[in-house]
Amino acid sequence: MRNTLLFIVLLVSGTLQAQHSTLRFTDEAINLSQKSVLVVPFESKMYLSDINKALAENNNLSSDQIIQRFTAAIDQSIYYAFQEKCKISSFYGIEDTSVTEDLNYIYDNLQLEYELVSVTEDKSKAEQLKAKLKKKEDNSYQRGQVNNGQIITTRDVRERYMKTVITDQKMLDSMHFKFDNDYFLFVNQLDIKNDYSDMIAVQQGSFDRVAQLHYTLYAKDGSILTTGISKTTFSNHQNDINKIISENFPILAYQIFEDLFPSEEENSGSKINLKKPWK
């Protein structure tokens, strides 16, 4: 199984660049080589899916079982993608009754927030000054609300990331003491959606589904380094959970790997760079 997953990762690695995007919070290169990374899986409530009913019926699985399969598969795929470059610590590799307690402690001391993406170009100092004098744009994520007894919703189509925000440094210190890790890779959310943007494909019943994995990388000192989404698509006719996992999850994991271990060509490319003095 390990060799199969690695083969798929290597096979698709040349075609992934356009299918994922990241926000960097540092101008410095992120050097994870030979470093230890603790992978924190997403909470079950952060699995959002349009296809759970079809998966349950076709695989004879409950919703909880589907989430468990996907969570474990993501963890395994990240391990295979990263293992030759750094030391991966995983809650799935621990035979300890305190695992659930540790994860709950982590979840209790972090928040998940949407980060909106705006692609910026290099500007002159004069242009930067003008931009600062302008009224700040409202980039908050507008949720639905109730007004006079009616539910009012707004459709926000701007690209956004589900990002981890640490609320207590003591939690990172505690996990670092236990796992001796240098970095924390938080898997924030998995969403699988039907893509109805191609109306002809929808009418023909052959549209795509989009699988997206949201993630955030923190250093042990509490500084956020990068956050992003890895993304891939598969046919709406595919409901075999084993094939969905084996054909798509290595791709999602390898895109995260490409973000954290960019090639020399990518280092001179046009990644979104939004450096912020944020811990």
Q: What is the CATH number of the domain that holds 17?
A: 3.40.50.10610
Alpha carbons 155 and 142: distance in angstroms, whole number: 8
Residue 173 in any domain: the answer is yes
Strand partners, 37: 88, 183
Cβ atoms of 258 and 266 within 8 Å: the answer is yes
The whole model's pTM is what?
Answer: 0.75
Cβ atoms of 32 and 261 within 8 Å: the answer is yes
Residue 275 in any domain: the answer is no
Residue 124 in any domain: the answer is no
Residue 274 in any domain: the answer is no
Q: Is 156 helix (H, G, I), strand (E, B) or coil?
A: coil
pLDDT in tens, the chain (279 residues): 444 444 344 444 434 333 556 777 777 777 788 899 999 999 999 999 999 999 999 999 999 999 999 999 999 999 999 999 999 988 876 666 788 899 999 999 999 998 776 543 344 445 545 444 544 444 444 444 445 444 443 444 556 779 999 999 999 999 999 999 999 999 999 999 999 988 998 888 889 999 999 999 999 999 999 999 999 999 999 999 999 999 999 999 999 998 888 764 444 443 433 333 333
Q: What is the enclosing helix (H) or strand (E) of 177?
A: helix 169-179
Report how many domains make up the chain: 1
Domain holding 207, by residue range, is: 2-118+139-266
Residue 129 in any domain: the answer is no
Q: What is the enclosing helix (H) or strand (E) of 38?
A: strand 36-40
